[in-house]
Amino acid sequence: GIRTPFFNELARLADKQWQAGPVIGGKTLTQGTASAVLSPQDQGRQVGQVWFADQATVAQAVGRAQAAFKGWRDTPVEQRARALEKLAEMLEAHSAEFVSLCTREAGKLLQDGIDEVREAVDFCRYYAVEARRLMAEPTRLPGYTGELNLLHAQGRGPFVCISPWNFPLAIFLGQVAAALVTGNTVLAKPAEQTSLVAHLAVTLAHQAGIPAEVLQLLPGDGATVGAALTQDPRIAGVCFTGATDTAQLINLTLAKRQGAIVPLIAETGGQNAMIVDSTALPEQVVRDVLRAAFQSAGQRCSALRVLYLQEDVAERVLEILKGAMKELSVDDPALWSTDVGPVIDQGARAGLEAHLARMKAEGKRIIAEAPMAKGCDKGFYVRPTALEIGSIKELEKEQFGPILHVVRFKAKDIGQVVDDINGTGYGLTLGIHSRNESFADQVARSVDAGNVYINRDQIGAMVGVQPFGGQGLSGTGPKAGGPHYLSRFITEKTVTNN
C-alpha cells in the first residue's frame, strides 16, 4: 500500500482502545458499568468503552452550564473565536486519530473520515469569522437627531446540542462551535453509537482554551439523556440534527414547557430525488448516482433515494449502472479500495433488510445488486441494491442506507414528477442531470429542496460556499455553514439613548 506518515499513524492506531464518559467540569466520569464499543464492520473487534451519563449527572451538568453562562457571554467574542481557531489547528494535528475512530467506531470509509476532519475544521474557522462579524461591535442603527440606537448580540444561555452518528465529528462539532462562539454554554449529547469521537473532540476543545464549565459532554441514548436535557427547564435552546420524528418529539417537549419559549434548530431527514432528462450524459449520471446513493453506505441525509429517469435515456443509464454496481467493492472501510462499508448497527440493518424484503414481496424488479466481500457477515452490511418502483409516493419513509429506487417517467409527465416529489413533504437535496439549461432552471425552481445540485452528485455541501439544510419536514434552517446560521443562537438587545 501507500506508506506515508499518515498511513503509518493509522496503522499504529488500528487496535488502540479508547474511552469515553460524561465530561463534567473538565473531568471524565467513569463510574458504574461501561458499555463495550464494537466496530459495525466486525462485531468481534472492540474499539473501546463508554460510560453513559445518568439523570443526576445531566442535572448537575445543566446547573454548572447555567452558573458559567454570564461569564462566558461577557467574554469578548475575539477570545471565543480564537479558541475555535486554535481548536481547528488541533483537529488537523489529530486528524489520523479522528479518521481512525470514524472508520472503527462509525464504519466510515477513510475518505469519509478525512472529509469529516476537513469539514469540522471549516466549521470552526468559518463560525469564528462569522461571530466576529455579528458580535464584535454592536450594530449602530439610524435614529432621530440626538438619539443613539445600538443593537447588541448576545448568547442565550445553556444550549443543548444533540447530534447523529453519521457525521460523528463534523456535525457534532459544527453545532458545538456555533453555540460556543456566540456566547452560549454547551451541553453536548452525541449519538450513543459515536461517543468516542465526541469525547476526543471535547478533550481537544478544552485544551484549545474552551473553559471546562462552558462545554460539557453527556454521552447516552436519546430516550434517557437526550430527553432529560430537553426537558430541563434551565436550558435556553436546542440544536438538533437527526431523524424528523425525533425533532417532532423534541418540539413537543419544548412546547409543553412552562415559563419559557426556547428555539429549536432542527436539521432532519430527507427523501431525496434526482431527475435525469433525455439530454443528460449517461456516464456522468452513473458516476454521480454511485456516489450520491452508495458512498457512506447511503447513510447521509443528503443521499440519493429516488432516481427519476426520462424514458429515452433510462435503458442506457441502467445498463451502465448495472455494470458499475458489479464493480463496487463492499468491504472493510479501512481499505482504500472499499467503496461501501457497513451500516451503523443491528437495528439499521434489520430495517433496511425488511424494506428490501417488502419491495421484493411486492414484485419490484431488482435492477442490480453489488457483490459482497468475504467477511461482511462479521458486521452490519447491507447489499447495495437498485430496484425499480412506480413513484416516490410508494415509499413511506426515508430508507437510510445503500438502496436506490429508480422511477421511469415520460417527458410530458414532468409536472407530475415534481408534484410527487414535493408531495413527500421533505425538502432536503435534489439532483438534476440535463444539458437543457431551461429545463434544469425550471425544475430547480419548482422542487422544494434546500440544496439543488445540477450535473453533479448531490451529497457534498461546503461550509461557507454551499450552506446546507432543508425545508418542510427536512428542517427549520437556518442553513449550517451559511451566513445566517449563528443568528439563531443569539438573542438581541436594542439599547436606545437620548
Closest approach, Cβ 246 to ligand NAD, in A, equals 3
- Cα–Cα distances (Å) from 191 to 196, 197, 222, 251, 455, in that order, read 10, 10, 8, 18, 34
300/196 Cα distance (integer angstroms): 20
Which of 341/475 has CB closer to ligand NAD?
475
Which of 249/372 has CB closer to ligand NAD?
249
Closest approach, Cβ 60 to ligand NAD, in A, equals 18
Q: What is the DSSP string of 192-247?
A: GGGHHHHHHHHHHHHHTT--TTTEEE--S-IIIIIHHHHH-TT--EEEEES-HHHH
First-to-last CA distance in the chain? 72
463/486 Cα distance (integer angstroms): 13
116 as an active site residue: the answer is no
Closest approach, Cβ 224 to ligand NAD, in A, equals 9
Annotated catalytic residue, options 119, 130, 192, 267: 267
Q: Is 272 within 8 Å of 429 (Cβ atoms)?
A: yes
Q: Do the strands 23-24 and 27-28 form a parallel or antiparallel pair, or are they unpaired?
A: antiparallel
Name the closest residue to ligand NAD (Cβ): 222
222/269 Cα distance (integer angstroms): 17
Q: Is 429 within 8 Å of 450 (Cβ atoms)?
A: yes
Closest approach, Cβ 349 to ligand NAD, in A, equals 13
Q: Do the strands 139-141 and 148-155 form a parallel or antiparallel pair, or are they unpaired?
A: antiparallel
DSSP lists the bridge partners of residue 452 as 430
Which of 246/338 has CB closer to ligand NAD?
246
Cell of 213: 464549565
301 as an active site residue: the answer is yes
Which of 183/269 has CB closer to ligand NAD?
269
Query: Which residues of the chain form contacts with ligand NAD (CB under 6 A)?
Result: 162-167, 171, 189, 191-192, 221-223, 226-227, 230, 241-243, 246, 249-250, 267-270, 301, 398, 400, 428, 470, 474-475
Closest approach, Cβ 468 to ligand NAD, in A, equals 6
Annotated catalytic residue, options 124, 161, 301, 376: 301
140/135 Cα distance (integer angstroms): 12
Which of 96/191 has CB closer to ligand NAD?
191
Which of 222/472 has CB closer to ligand NAD?
222
Q: Which residues are catalytic?
A: 267, 301
